[in-house]
Amino acid sequence: MQYAFAPGAILLALPALAQAQDSATAAPIARVEITGSNIRRTQAETASAVQTLSAADIEKSGKSSVAELLQTLAVDNQGSVPTTFGNGFAAGASGISLRGLGTASTLVLLNGRRVAPYGLADDGQKVFADLNIIPLDAVERVEILKDGASAIYGSDAIAGVVNVILRRDFQGTTIKGNYGKTKYWDGRDAHAAIMHGFGDIDTDRYNVLLNLEYSEKAPIWNRDRDGRGAVGRSDLRDLGFSAQQALGGTGAITTNNAAGSAINGNVRNPGTLDYYNRGNLAGVGFTRTFPAAACSNFTTHPQGDPGGGCLIDAAQQYGQIQPQQKNLNFFGRGAWQLSSELQTYAEVNLYHSESTSQTTPSTVSGSVGYPGGPVSNAGVSLGATHPDNPYFGTDARLRYLAGDVGPRVSNIDSTFQRYVLGIKGTLAGWDIDSALLYSQNRVSNEQNGYLQRDVAFALLNPSAVNVAAASLNPAYAALPAGSLWRIAENAGLNSPALYAALSPTISNDARTHIAQIDFKASREVGKLDGGALGVAVGAEFRHEATELQPTTGTERGNIIGLGYSAYKGSRNASAIYAEVLAPLLREVELSGALRADHFSDVGNSYTPKVGIKWTPLRELALRGTFAKGFRAPSAAENGVGGLAAFSTATDPLRCALGVAAACDPASIAIITSPNPNLSPERSRSYSLGAIWDPLPRTSVSVDLWQIRRKNEINQEQTDTAIAEGHVARDPSTATGIPGDPGAITAVLANYVNSAQTTVRGIDVDGRQRFILGSDYGSLTFDVKWTHLYKWLRTEQDGTQRDFAGTHGNCDVSNCMGTPNNRVNLGITWERQNWRVSTNVNYRGPLDNVLFKNDPDGCATHFADGSDAPRGCRIASFTSVDLTARWLATPKLEAYASIQNLFDKIAPLDPLTYGATSYNPLDYAGAAGRFFSAGLKYKF
């Protein structure tokens, strides 16, 4: 007898099962292998908490990919990578971050084995597996090991394991197609799949499964959500923000010697250092005026900058909520029964994606960094004889948004391959499984719209120094002597050849691969009072390699506003491990595992895990685990290369001097160097839980857990580095305020082993099913709640920061915050050939501070200096999804869904850089209500 105990159809086998097994007339009970253990068992529930999502659960969610579903789960938190983040370092991919410990600390497996990571590391550092490679219609179930490290899998499983299990046999043919759009009639999401299987493994001694899927998503533009709260807007003056702030619009003149980049150009008075707009006919000191440069000739955006700048909202005009993406996915599996005891199998995964993302045009003054140091572009100027210079006769600094060049566009092609050839079965009383695996990912990224620094400087100000530097560029050297880049109203005078030299296509390529051989075996070796003693042993060897080439020109800091990221490394890893499952008594089960790993670059690691499950009552089981884990540094962290990226930070030194613009977060460059002396991250994880099934259709589980990670590999904290003066500044940007050292051009940091991070929380899972009678079907309630008590980082100097419930940690992907509450609630009604499900996803509110009790207070402010948003709090967000399935005939199924049923609007989030004025976690509230429908037919 079995009882459902938790959402996702995980079963708790009770003592009655063992009693039935003792009966001479009982049928054989199937044994299963659960993620986190290599020992097959009759009970699906182990001492570790495992959340299972079946194919039916995926269907009920209405999500169009496994990645989208996983990122709505309560166990996912800060650090996940959404596909919608088209302008991030890992654009085109999607990753999960269990417990908010980052994608690099969450191990993703496909059929229990590793996959080659995505070629572009998140934030230029965190290597992770791309969830988009998972073929949706071939998924049998997803198992999530939630209690932290696992001694079975080795490196990278500090936060847990996500094991995607694909179908292993299939007969017949199924075709499926669905299509959806938002209520704004955009964001097309189309999916088509065909699955074909033939051969019966029992009678024909073989089975072949073939699954082919195609999907595409159309872009959603910020400009098409005008009027949807703050979504997609950077000019938030109507909400109380100032045009002087970095988030308040594009083109504002902020203070003496500081201005934003205007679509028609802001220029600096060489004498007073005050900026004026080129369209201002009363600009102080102008020697020429440009009536055609009037702001009204470029935009109808509401003006009102007290500094006199020309305001537009570039993020709204050019930015995207969702990039365009097309995916083609193939999965094939063949199994052949060699004998009654041995079966050989082969698996092939092939995936190709093309994504196109777009962001604002480049500015001419964006500072950058590369491993050689920071490159300040603040000095870019219109030359003394440039015909568009209002201070004709004198060089004048320029702040210009290059709308004539066009938006910056990234075209990313990703190709993933995975091949497995294995044999499994029974040999000499052992259940064995051994395989050869090869997996690789190749990524190509072509970008347009970026400006070459040397050419831009020479075309704007053809001084002898600038021309000499640019002449090394063949495209510039081929231009007619004296060529100038005409800006704004005169941009029509520029030739295609000039633009080709100024903004050519730049690109980079990345490649990762894994080659692995493994062997594992398990068997029962004796009897204890509670049943058979199970043991398992295993070994594996793998070679890993990764290489990311720098984007053209970034290796010398020559691409304005584009950071540098490159790394290269390889290593060998070998491991042996053993596991034991000991049912000491009918009510008590002990488990233990030990793994020894050797890495050619960082040495040895030994990771144990122990667990206990006690069933004192038929309806109650208690469980607990302890484990050690580790994560070996990636090539991005200890290899050859470096990172020059962008983040947001305030400048407390200049703020204290009275430079108002320095008091609110602004974009800054961060230069981080690899560290070959890094040690692996180490972790200790604990869990203690209970499963209670008071009634056959009622179940509740509660699990307390804690993960403590030491030697954490991070960039040095940005604000700490600023406070300690580890920065480069540009004195030429100083205001007239005494002591002003000028704006920060770059923060200089290294990858370091931070002291430790402690994450503690509780998971509550509940399930209740009601039988309404033959005429009314059944009703099932399913709830999952994860609460974070703390997310505490302790630096090497002893300082501590707790990010739980706050907008930090902003050194992690997207600066999306660390919610301390996430809830998934499902309600499903089933009757005969109908199934209707409602899914509620809740993200708790966030304090808009960088960490708890931050002495600097609220991270953003309104124009009047008060905390922004009101109460310094990012509101919670709840979305409701509705799905329905109708089995019209035994072969034909129709289904439909409405995502964000009540069309909730994503609340304002002015701090994150992963989206414009809304949190990436609240994507559904940015896109708006989404409708989709589809058909599935079985032959």
Question: Closest by alpha carbon to 581, among 54, 162, 43, 192?
Answer: 43
Entry pTM: 0.89
Phi, psi of 723 (to 5 degrees): -60, -35
Task: Answer whether 536's CB lies under 8 Å from 579's CB.
Answer: yes
**Residue carrying structure tokens 């070629």:** 119
> What does the pLDDT average to over 323-329?
96
List all residues 6 or more positions away from 550 whose beta carbon is below 8 Å from its beta carbon. Answer: 508, 564, 565, 566, 641
- pLDDT, one tens digit per residue, over 546-581 is 999 999 999 999 999 888 888 889 999 999 999 999
Distance CA 129, CA 138 (A): 18
The pLDDT, as a whole number, for residue 135 is 94
Q: Sign of the CA dihedral 713, 719, 725, 728?
A: positive
| Residue 835 confidence (pLDDT) | 96
First to last CA, the chain: 35
- Which helix or strand (DSSP H or E) is residue 154 part of? none
Nearest to 104 by CA among 79, 83, 84, 85: 79
DSSP assignment of 270-304 equals TTT--EEETT-TT-TT-SS--GGG-GGGT--S---
In this structure, what token pair is assigned to residue 70?
């996983």
Q: Where residue 37 falls among pLDDT bands split at 50, 70, 90?
A: confident
What mean pLDDT, rounded, does the chain reach? 90
Q: State the residue for tokens 């109507």.
A: 238
Distance from C-alpha of 804 to C-alpha of 78, rounded to nearest angstrom: 10
Cα gap 570→639, rounded to integer Å? 8
CA–CA gap between residue 746 and residue 645 (Å, rounded): 9
- 3-state SS, residue 320: strand
pLDDT score at 117 = 94
Which amino acid is present at 553? G
Distances (CA, A) of 198 to 173, 203, 336, 843, 924: 9, 12, 12, 44, 40
In whole angstroms, what is the distance from residue 145 CA to residue 157 CA?
A: 9
31 confidence band (pLDDT: 50, 70, 90): low
CA distance readout (Å), 141 to 53, 128, 329, 679: 5, 21, 18, 35
State residue 44's pLDDT score. Answer: 60
Q: How far apart are CA 381 and CA 396, in angstroms?
A: 5
Q: Pick from 144, 55, 73: which is nearest to 106 by CA?
A: 144
| Model pLDDT for residues 144-199, shown as the tens digit of each residue | 999 888 889 988 999 999 999 999 999 999 999 999 999 999 999 999 999 999 99
Residue range 308-333: mean pLDDT, rounded: 95
Cis ω for the linkage preceding 809 (within 30 of 0): yes
Is the pLDDT score of 16 beyond 80? Answer: no
Average pLDDT of the residues in 812-838: 92
Inform me whether the pLDDT recorded for 14 exceeds 70: no
Detail the DSSP E strand segments found in 450-587.
506-528, 531-548, 564-582
718-752 pLDDT tens trace = 777 888 888 878 888 888 888 898 888 778 777 88
Q: Averaged over 203-222, what is the pLDDT? A: 96
Give the pLDDT confidence of 661-706 residue by residue, as tens digits.
Answer: 788 777 677 778 788 888 899 999 999 999 999 988 999 999 999 9
Strand pairing partners for 126?
Answer: 122
Asked if residue 20 has pLDDT above 70, the reply is no
pLDDT > 80? residue 931 = yes
451-485 pLDDT per residue, tens: 999 999 999 999 999 999 999 999 999 999 999 99
* Whole-number Å distance between alpha carbons of 669 and 744: 8
Q: Average pLDDT, stretch 301-330?
A: 94
- Residue among 530, 624, 746 at smallest CA distance from 42: 530
C-alpha of 718 from chain center: 20
d(CA 634, CA 288): 56
Mean pLDDT of 258-271: 95
* SS3 state of residue 267: strand
pLDDT score for 42: 59
What pLDDT sits at residue 25? Answer: 39
Rounded mean pLDDT, 254-273: 94
pLDDT tens digits along 414-457 = 999 999 999 999 999 999 999 999 999 999 999 999 999 999 99
The pLDDT value recorded for residue 43 is 61
Q: What is the pLDDT of residues 832-855, one digit of tens each?
A: 999 999 999 999 999 999 999 999
User: Is the omega angle on the peptide bond into residue 608 within 30 degrees of 0, that is, cis?
Assistant: no
Give me the pLDDT at residue 9, please: 34
Whether 620 has a pLDDT exceeding 70, the answer reads yes
Could you tell me the two tokens for 854?
Answer: 């931050």
* Spatial CA neighbour of 453 closest among 401, 380, 523: 380
Check residue 481 and give its pLDDT: 92
Please state, in angstroms and rounded to a whole number, the distance separating the CA atoms of residues 818 and 786: 12
Predicted confidence at residue 330, as pLDDT, reads: 98
* Geometric angle at alpha carbon 405, from 472 and 914, rounded to 5°: 105
581-592 pLDDT, tens digit per residue, is: 999 999 999 999
Select from 875, 872, 852, 842 the least CA-distant residue to 791.
Answer: 852
- Whether pLDDT at 813 is above 80: no
Give yes or no for residue 19 having a pLDDT over 60: no
pLDDT computed for residue 661 by the predictor? 76
CA 168 to chain centre: 29
